[in-house]
Structure 1
Amino acid sequence: MLLETRALTANYGQFRALFGVDVTVDAGECVAIIGANGAGKSTLMRSITGVLRNEPGMVLHRGESIGALSSAEVMKRGIAMVPEGRRLFPSLTVEENLLIGGQMRKAPGPWNLAAIYDLFPILRERRRNPGTALSGGQQQMVAIGRALMSNPELLLCDEISLGLAPVVIRDIYAALPKIREGGAAIVVVEQDIGKALAVADRVYCMMEGHVTLAAKAGDVTREAIHAAYFGEAA
């Protein structure tokens, strides 16, 4: 088991956002986290990556507690996130944004500038452009590439299709199998159920900070997803 959360809770001040969340990710697999706005999906990602601190035993990486580590320490262990909203450095070029990711972890792996440019050829053409001068889809490619430059063994993708055109979403999702071929496990946080299920081995549905469904992606029914997503009978 690569990653595990155990009865994970998370708070924003006095507001509790996660209630006893149990999620597992095995090495090399793709796990989808689905749910509506406010379900707790992004909070789960922030908790795993150390942006929100937790009790030490609530998040485990390869059996070792990482719940109290900082985000920098978590990334050095091989867990990288593509954040919602991309969050590129506006003063840096595309290539400089990518190189920032490579500074965080020195583990050997398949990802370097040449590999990122092969994965997303348009970035090679735009490598001297300011990162935020690109289209939304191209910026998302930079954000994915920046995370991959650390050669993570676990890549967390938070709402990578949000606000993008269908043709761009298709291209980004087409890259996910290639990323898995490099050895990384992937967690995809999505509101688009069809996209998530198409690439995932397993799926979790969240609602109001709780996990309401955990199943193999190929076995889950539309009725079960409807009930878990909306908290009502299909």
Structure 2
Amino acid sequence: MALLETRDLTAFYGDFQALFGVDLTLQEGETVAVIGANGAGKTTLMRSVSGLIRQTPGMVRLDGREIGALPADEIMAQGVAMVPEGRKLFPSLSVEENLLMGRHRRKVNGPWSLDSVYRLFPILKERRNQPGTALSGGQQQMVSIGRALMSNPRVLLCDEISLGLAPVVIRDIYAAFPRIRETGASVIVVEQDIGQAMKVADRVYCMMEGRVTLSGRPDELSREAIHDAYFGAAA
């Protein structure tokens, strides 16, 4: 049984349909990357899994339990945490206060605490009393990841965490992923950067126009197949 699964997942914004029958699985201890261009439906998929877009119950399952209709706070309480696109830090709170917000809903013991987040991202300890939004973009992304980890999630959803960041910053952020996986979290990473996705993922899903167009292990997917699935095959 998959840890997390979507079955024939659809999603709408009013009358506009954004997802069309998306099937995805995440196994225990696995990292899955979801790639695709802008507008492919990647963020809508993450919002649907995390409960920000409510679904039919059976369209999203955690450990076989139907969670698609649950609100976001209940899904987080069950162990699914999201690092949202754009970071979404609280501007009135310090770095440390932003981190502490991550544990308010999920009351479990686990490997992640303020101390372990500070060991993962030492710069945050130095800046812990500064406003979260006063940090650089990369440091804000570290706060956003740390806030999600503070809930000790079983599933960590990372939506476009490299967007707008310099390559050296992206490298530093992704260098933390082995440690995150060592603590038992399974990860879904949404990325536009195909190369970065291939480096970290056990399996890859490519989306285009709200549909999965290709899936497989990185070493099984040819560059041509990925290009066609990402942009559409030439007519």
TM range (shorter): over 0.9
Partner of residue 230, structure 2? 229
Amino acid at match of 1:19: F
1:166-181 to 2 correspondence within 5 Å? 166-181=167-182
Find the aligned partners of 1:61 and 1:105 in 2 and give their Cα distance.
16
Q: Is the 8 A contact 1:39 1:207 kept in 2?
A: yes
Find the aligned partners of 2:216 and 2:69 in 1 and give their Cα distance.
29
Counterpart check, 1:83 vs 2:84: yes
Counterpart check, 1:38 vs 2:39: yes
Partner of residue 9, structure 1? 10
Partner of residue 70, structure 1? 71
Find the aligned partners of 2:234 and 2:219 in 1 and give their Cα distance.
21
Find the aligned partners of 2:220 and 2:119 in 1 and give their Cα distance.
34
Percent identity over the alignment is 71
Partner of residue 208, structure 1? 209
1:44-123 to 2 correspondence within 5 Å? 44-123=45-124
Runs of 4 or more consecutive aligned structure 1 residues displaced over 6 Å after TM superposition? none
Find the aligned partners of 1:62 and 1:166 in 2 and give their Cα distance.
36
Find the aligned partners of 2:108 and 2:11 in 1 and give their Cα distance.
30
Question: Bigger CA drift: 23-32 or 219-228?
Answer: 219-228
Question: By how many angstroms is 1:144 displaced?
Answer: 0.1
Q: Is the 8 A contact 1:35 1:206 kept in 2?
A: yes
Please give the root-mean-square deviation of Cα atoms over the aligned residues, in Å.
0.9
Partner of residue 147, structure 1? 148
Given the two structures, how large is their TM-score scaled by the length of structure 2? 0.98
Q: Is the 8 A contact 1:40 1:209 kept in 2?
A: yes
Describe the superposition over 1:67-103 as per-residue Cα deviations: whole angstroms up to 9, x where unpaired: 0000000000000000000000000000000001011
Q: Is the 8 A contact 1:201 1:218 kept in 2?
A: no
Q: How many residues align?
A: 234
Question: Bigger CA drift: 99-108 or 37-46?
Answer: 99-108
Find the aligned partners of 1:188 and 1:80 in 2 and give their Cα distance.
12
Give ranges in structure 1 of 5+ residues lacking alignment.
Answer: none
Q: Is the 8 A contact 1:81 1:158 kept in 2?
A: yes
